[in-house]
């Protein structure tokens, strides 16, 4: 028993005393996608809580907002008989539908390579391909890069270096733009407090993104009762067609 206590004391002593902690909040607790949704701005703000005077050196903050991960099929186009055809697909096991990072300085200066690996922060760390087909060995990297490139072009992935402003070594703020082509689901906002590229503390908050109102209704109808939705769509079309015909006859006899 004493030995166990001793071991516990030793373990506690070996742990670094967390002199700094990060407390943060988001300007929105959820994002609602309605008919007029054209994207949203998330304002991330917070403070660095200290129990001791700040150590030497500058403090860094990194904000990462990640959308729900889904497998994605990547195909490379090939020319066959003069036209471009989609080649065999490589299923990527997980790629976030959205990924935004904001940092105080250049990405690699803010977070070291090992910390990046440990906390899965960088884009190359969040996209996972576990079982690559044999023929892919040489091109594995190309396919993974393609996911990042295509999603960057769609405005779904981006890194905003210098996007986080720290004032007085104590307060910080960042503005992250969510584009209009968002996918529903639970988004995760992670706020890292770093010193010399090492993570000191992490704060995590879930940001649900949901369709609301008519968007919610139509989407769930289409997926949960497709037959009813199909019939309703056709009836709507017929009603519109009949109304057009009736109006036309009324105004132009």
Partner 1 sequence: MNIYLPIAEVSVNALVLLALGGGVGMLSGLFGVGGGFLMTPLLIVVGIPPAVAVATGTNQIAAASFSGMLAHLRRRTVDMKMGTVMLVGGIFGSAAGVQAFALLREIGQVELAVGLCYVVFLGVVGGLMLAESLQASRRVRKGGAARRKRRHNWIHGLPFKMRFRQSNLYISAIPPLVIGALVGLLAAIMGVGGGFIMVPAMIYLLGMATTVVVGTSLFQILFVAAFTTLGHAITNQTVDAMLALVLIIGGVVGAQIGARLGPRLRAEQLRILLALIVLAVCLKLGWDLVRTPSELFVLGEVRG
Interface residue list for partner 1 (CB under 8 A)? 33-39, 70-77, 79, 82-86, 89, 91, 142-143, 146-147, 149-151, 153, 180-181, 183, 211, 214-216, 218-219, 222-223, 226-227, 229-234, 236-238, 240-245, 247-248, 252
* Inter-axis angle of helices 226-251 and 213-224, nearest 10: 120
Q: Which residue, 73 or 198, is less far from partner 1 as judged by CB?
A: 73
- Give least dist CB 109 to partner 1, A: 30
Name which of 6 and 231 has its Cβ closer to partner 1: 231
171-178 β-sheet, strand order: 20-26, 40-50, 171-178, 164-167
Nearer to partner 1, 147 or 194 (CB): 147
Q: Measured from the CB of residue 82, what is the shortest distance to partner 1 in angstroms?
A: 6
- Residue 152 CB-half CA count within 13 A: 12
State the Cα–Cα distance between residues 58 and 48, nearest whole angstrom. 13
Kindly report the backbone phi and psi dihedral angles of residue 88, in degrees, each rounded to the nearest multiple of 5, phi listed first.
-60, 145
Q: Which of 30, 70, 42 is nearest to 164 (CA)?
A: 42
- Least separation in angstroms between residue 63's CB and partner 1 is 24
Scan for tokens 């307060």, then name that residue.
171
CA distance 175 to 160: 10
Cα dihedral sign, 219-220-223-229:
negative
Nearer to partner 1, 118 or 140 (CB): 140
Closest to partner 1 by CB, 62 vs 95, is 95
**Measured between alpha carbons, how far is 50 from 36 in angstroms, rounded to an integer?**
43
Minimum gap (Å) between residue 24 Cβ and partner 1 = 29
- What residues form DSSP beta bridges with 62? 103, 192
Query: Please, what is the minimum distance in Å from the beta carbon of residue 90 to partner 1?
Result: 10
Provide the minimum distance between the beta carbon of 186 and partner 1 in the complex, in angstroms, as a whole number.
17
Please give the C-alpha separations between residue 234 and each of 216, 227, 231, 237, in angstroms, as whole numbers: 20, 11, 5, 5
- Comparing CB distances to partner 1, the nearer of 85 and 170 is 85
- CB closer to partner 1 out of 171 and 240: 240
Question: Least distance to partner 1 from the beta carbon of 80, Å?
Answer: 10
């Amino acid at each position: 028993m004493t030995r166990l206590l001793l071991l516990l004391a030793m373990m506690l002593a070996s742990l670094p005393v967390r002199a700094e902690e990060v407390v943060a909040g988001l300007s929105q607790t959820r994002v609602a996608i309605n008919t007029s949704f054209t994207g949203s701005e998330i304002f991330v703000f917070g403070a660095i809580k200290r129990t001791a005077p700040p150590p030497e050196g500058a403090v860094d903050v990194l904000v990462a907002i990640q959308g729900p991960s889904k497998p994605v099929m990547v195909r490379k186009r090939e020319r066959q008989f003069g036209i471009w055809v989609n080649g065999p697909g490589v299923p990527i096991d997980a790629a976030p539908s959205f990924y935004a990072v904001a940092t105080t300085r250049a990405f690699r200066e803010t977070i070291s390579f090992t910390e990046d690996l440990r906390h899965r922060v960088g884009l190359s760390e969040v996209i996972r391909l576990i079982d690559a087909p044999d023929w892919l060995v040489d091109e594995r990297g190309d396919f993974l890069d393609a996911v990042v490139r295509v999603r960057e072009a769609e405005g779904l992935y981006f890194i905003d270096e210098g996007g986080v402003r720290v004032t007085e070594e104590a307060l910080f703020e960042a503005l992250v733009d969510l584009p209009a082509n968002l996918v529903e689901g639970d988004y995760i906002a992670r706020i890292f407090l770093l010193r010399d590229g090492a993570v000191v503390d992490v704060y995590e908050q879930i940001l649900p993104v949901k369709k609301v109102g008519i968007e919610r209704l139509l989407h769930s109808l289409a997926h949960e009762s497709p037959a009813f939705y199909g019939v309703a769509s056709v009836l709507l079309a017929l009603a519109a067609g009949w109304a057009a015909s009736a109006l036309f006859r009324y105004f132009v006899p």
